[in-house]
A = this chain, B = another copy of it.
C-alpha cells in the first residue's frame, strides 16, 4: 500500500476504535468508546427476538391506534391511523387475539456452552476479547429468516454458538482461524446478523465447540485513495457507518442494501449483496476492487489492486456468495465516488401492473434506468397507503397525492388495478432533469402519469421503518415471508401470476384459515450502459424488508422480480 501513501487520508474512525478491550471481574467484556453505531454488545440496543433497535417498534396503544415508537426514524412517535383497519380487513386479524413474543431471554433455556478448553486457553493468551454469556451467544445464533425469528419469539432456543470472539483486526482473525484449525473448533463468521440464507444457524448435531467470530470491532476505514477513488476498509463496518464516514470526506460507495443500517461490508461480500441504487453504482461485485479473506489454508487475496485481470478464474467470484463457508473476509478495497451533486425522487401511476412492467422493459431497452425504480402492484400500493401517519408533510398519503391530480388526470384509473412506480434520480442537476424527462416520456407511452416527488420519496423513506412491521404482524397471528428472483423480461407477468396462484393453493392445501395476501414488486435491472447482466439480490437482507409488506394472516407472500 506504500504506493498510495502520498494520497491517503486517515479517518478518525480508526483512532477512536483502537482502545484495547477490557474484560471485567466476571469475564464479561467491556469495550472502550466505539465509533460505530452498533455497540460490541449489540443486544444493549437491539432486539434479541425481533428486528432492529429495541426502542423502535410498531404497537397498538391504549386507544387501539397503531404507532411507531422511539426517536430514530422520521416515522418515530407517529400515529398510523389506517394500519389497524388495513390489518383487520386484509387479514381478519383480531386485536383481542394477541400472540406476544417471550419478553426476555430465559437464559436457563440456553444449553451451557461446549467449551474447548485448549482453544480457550490459547485464545486467552492472545488477548482477543470473547464471551460465553448466554445473551451474546443467542444473539449470534440466527439471521432474520421468518422461521428463525418465529422460534425465538416462542422462546425456542436451539443449538447456539458456544463462544463469541471479537477480533480487532485482520491479524486477530488469522490467529483465531489458526487456533480453530489446531483445536478442531468450528467458526461461524458474524457481521450484521441480517442474513436470510440461514448461514448463521448452528447445525443441531454439531458436537464440536462452535465459535461465533463477530467482526463488529473491525470497522475502520484504513485509507481513502482520492486519486484512484478507492477506499480500503475493514470488513466489519456496518453500512450506515461506512457511508457516514465516507460522506464526512465527501465520498460514498453508493451501495445501499435495505439492510445497510445493520449489515456489514464483509456480509455484503459473503452474500453477494445488491443495493437499491445498483443501476448506477452496481452490485457488490462491481464495487469491490480487492478482497482479503482468511481461510483454514491461509490468507487468500489477489496479488495486486489492479482493477481487472484476465489471467485465470476470478477468485473474488469464489468468495462472493460463499456465505462464510470458505473463510472470513477481513478487509475490502471498494470503489468510491464523490457524493452525488443532486438527488430527485419521483413516482408514476400506471393503469395496471402489465403497463408498468412494459414501461420498465422499455426503460431498460433505452438504457436509461434511474438510480432506483420500483414498480409495486395494486396490493402493495394499497398497503403503502395504510402506512400513512397522522401528521406529516412528506408523509402525505399516496392517495392524497393522487387526489391533487385525480379530477384532472386520474379519472378512469381503477383504484383496484392501478399500480405505482417509485423513482430516484442521482447525478449532476442538469443530467438528472434530462434523465427525468426521458423516463417520464417513456412512462407516458404506457399510460403512466407522474404522481409527484413526495409519493416517491415516501416510498424510500419507509424502507428502513417498514422492516419493523413483521414483528407487529406476528403479535396477531400474522406471519409472512418473501422471496426475490431475476428472470427474462417476457416471464415477469407469468411468474407473478403463477407464484400468487401457487401460494393460494398451498395455503388451501395446508388448511390456512384465511386467504393469503400476495404482492409483487418489479425492480429495475439493467444499468444505464447495459453492459452488465441485470443483478437482483436473491438471498440477502434485501428480501427481508418485505417482511413488513408480508403482514398477513397466516400467510402473506411478497415476490420481487427483475430482469436481464
Which residues of A come within 8 Å of B, CB atoms? Answer: 3-4, 7, 197, 225, 227-230, 271-274, 278-283, 285-289, 304-314, 316-323, 335, 337, 365, 485-491, 525, 527-540, 562-564
Contact = CB atoms under 8 A, between A and B. Distances in A.
B488 A227 contact: yes
Contacts of A271: 310
B534 A308 contact: yes
Nearest to A319: B313
Given A314-B320, A320-B314, A491-B3, A308 B486 contact: yes
25 contacts: A197-B311, A225-B490, A228-B489, A280-B531, A281-B530, A282-B529, A286-B531, A286-B532, A307-B486, A307-B562, A308-B535, A308-B536, A309-B321, A310-B321, A310-B537, A310-B539, A310-B540, A311-B321, A313-B318, A313-B319, A314-B321, A316-B317, A335-B530, A528-B528, A531-B532
Contacts of A225: 488, 490
Contact of A229 (B306, B318, B485, B564): B564
Contacts of A532: 282, 286, 531-532
B313 A320 contact: yes
Contacts of A527: 529, 531
B538 A310 contact: yes
A163 to B, nearest CB: 28
Contacts of A486: 306-309
Given A225-B488, A490-B227, A531-B532, A322 B313 contact: yes
Given A310-B272, A490-B227, A491-B3, A281 B322 contact: no
A553 to B, nearest CB: 30
Contacts of A485: 306
Contact of A337 (B7, B530, B533): B530
Contacts of A487: 304, 306-307
A289 B491 contact: no
Nearest to A288: B533
A228 B563 contact: yes
A92 B564 CA distance: 55
Contacts of A490: 7, 225, 227-228
Contact of A280 (B273, B529, B539): B529
B307 A563 contact: yes
The 3 closest A-B pairs by CB, nearest first: A282-B531, A317-B317, A272-B310
A563 B280 CA distance: 19
Contacts of A563: 228, 307
Most B CB within 10 A of own CB, among A309, A536, A539: A309
A313 B307 contact: no
Given A230-B488, A533-B286, A564-B335, A323 B312 contact: yes
Contacts of A306: 485-488
A545 B283 CA distance: 33
A170 to B, nearest CB: 21
A539 to B, nearest CB: 5
A399 B307 CA distance: 35
Contact of A539 (B273, B311, B323, B537): B311
Contacts of A488: 3-4, 225, 227-228, 230, 305-307
Given A228-B563, A488-B225, A488-B305, A278 B531 contact: yes
Given A228-B564, A286-B531, A313 B321 contact: yes
Contacts of A280: 529, 531
A337 B227 CA distance: 34
